[in-house]
Amino acid sequence: MDAESLPYALDLVAGSGVCLSPEKRTALRTSLLLVQRDYRFEQVRLWGRIQGIRGAYYIAEGLGPDRAGARSRLYSLNCVDWSLLPPPTEEMIAMTGGIKGRFQGDPSYEYENYDKKEEGEKPYEEETGVLVKEEIRLVTTVDQIDKAVGIVPRGAYIKTPLGLVHENRTFEGLSLTEAKKLSSYFHFTEPVNLKNKTLLEKADLDPCIDFLDSLEHDIPKGSWSIQVERGGRIVVLRSLLWPGLTFYHVPNTKQHGYIYFGSGEKNIDLPFML
C-alpha cells in the first residue's frame, strides 16, 4: 500500500477491519515519506501490522528500480521511529520453523526453540535449546506471508528484456468482469508453477505480463475470497490461509494494493474447513 495514497487506500479496506486512528494515519504517512527520503527508496509501502500480545509491529517496505527485486523491510512500534530488518536467510527460516503461538510485541523477547530428538537418541538426555529473538521471527514471518499471499492484478507490471520489473504505464485497471476472476491476479514473487507449464500452455501467454503465477491454481482450492463492494466500485480479495491479508482493486483504474492486519499466524486448519 503506497505511502503517498495511504489515507485513501485505508478507507477502501476498512470493511475488513483495517482501522487506524487519525493520529496513527498521520504519523505513518509523514514518517514513511521521511524514510523514503533518508534511505533513498524509489517507493515506500505500508506492508501492514502484526498484532502481538503486548504490542504491535508496523511493517514497511522500501522498493528500488526493480519492483520484483530484493526489498528492504522496516518495522516500528510507534509509527514514528523505524528500524531496518535484516534480509531473511535459510538459517533464520530453520531457526524459527518450530515456533508457534502469538507474537509478544517485544523485538528483544527470546524464544527457546528445542531441537527434536531423532530416533535412537537416549530419551533422558538433556534437550539443547536455541534462543531465537522475536525480531528474527518477525523477519521470516513477513517474508513467508509476502511470498504466499502478496498479489497484484494482471498487467499492472511488465518485465523488460533485461529482466527488470516495472510498473506498466499503460495499465488502466481490470474490467469488473475480469476483476471477479482469480486468474486475473498474480503472486508477486518468483514463479513456481509457470516453469512447469508446457510449450502449448505458454503459447497463449504474453511474456511481458504473464511472467508470474496465477491465483487460480493455489492450494488448497478455495483459499481466496472475492467480494464486490460499494456497488461494484471496488473488488476485495481476502486470504483464508493467512487471515488478515486484504487486497483491493478499483476496476478500470490503476488503484490497487494489499495490506496485512493480523496476528502473523497461518490457518493450518483451512483444508479441513473448506
Give the pLDDT confidence score for residue 200 in this predicted structure: 63
Got the DSSP string for 77-110? SSSS--EEPPPP-HHHHHHHTT--S---S-TT-E
Tell me if 113 sits within 8 A of 130, measured CB to CB.
Answer: yes
* Mean pLDDT lowest among 100-104, 109-113, 254-258: 109-113
Describe the chain by its helix, strand, coil percentages, rounded to 5. 25, 25, 45
Give the pLDDT confidence score for residue 13 in this predicted structure: 84
In a domain, 153, yes or no: yes
Question: What number is the average pLDDT over the span 244-263?
Answer: 92
| Total domain count, the chain | 1
Question: What number is the average pLDDT over the span 155-165?
Answer: 87
Identify which of 11, 17, 7, 80 has the alpha carbon closest to the alpha carbon of residue 245: 17
Q: Is 175 exposed, middle or buried (0-12, 13-18, 19+ CB in 10 A)?
A: exposed
DSSP 49: E
In a domain, 145, yes or no: yes
Question: What number is the average pLDDT over the span 249-267?
Answer: 92
In a domain, 49, yes or no: yes
In a domain, 273, yes or no: no
Measured on CA atoms in the order 195, 166, 219, 103, is the torsion positive or negative? positive
Question: What number is the average pLDDT over the span 58-75?
Answer: 89
In a domain, 243, yes or no: yes
- Alpha-carbon span 185 to 221, nearest angstrom: 15
Range of the domain at 142: 6-106+137-266
* Longest CA span, the chain: 66
In a domain, 126, yes or no: no
- The string of pLDDT tens digits covering residues 5-35 is 888 888 888 877 778 888 998 899 899 999 9
- Alpha-carbon span 79 to 163, nearest angstrom: 35
120 has pLDDT over 60 = no
In a domain, 1, yes or no: no
245 alpha carbon, distance to own chain's centre: 7
Give the start-end residues of each E strand in the chain.
43-51, 56-63, 72-76, 83-84, 110-114, 129-133, 151-153, 157-159, 165-167, 185-187, 224-229, 234-239, 245-249, 256-262
Residue 17 backbone class (left: φ over 0; alpha: ψ -120 to 50; beta: rest): left
In a domain, 114, yes or no: no
50 has pLDDT over 60 = yes
Percent of the chain with pLDDT over 70: 90
Question: What number is the average pLDDT over the span 67-91?
Answer: 91
pTM: 0.87
Grid cell in block for residue 13:
479496506
Give the start-end residues of each E strand in 90-203.
110-114, 129-133, 151-153, 157-159, 165-167, 185-187
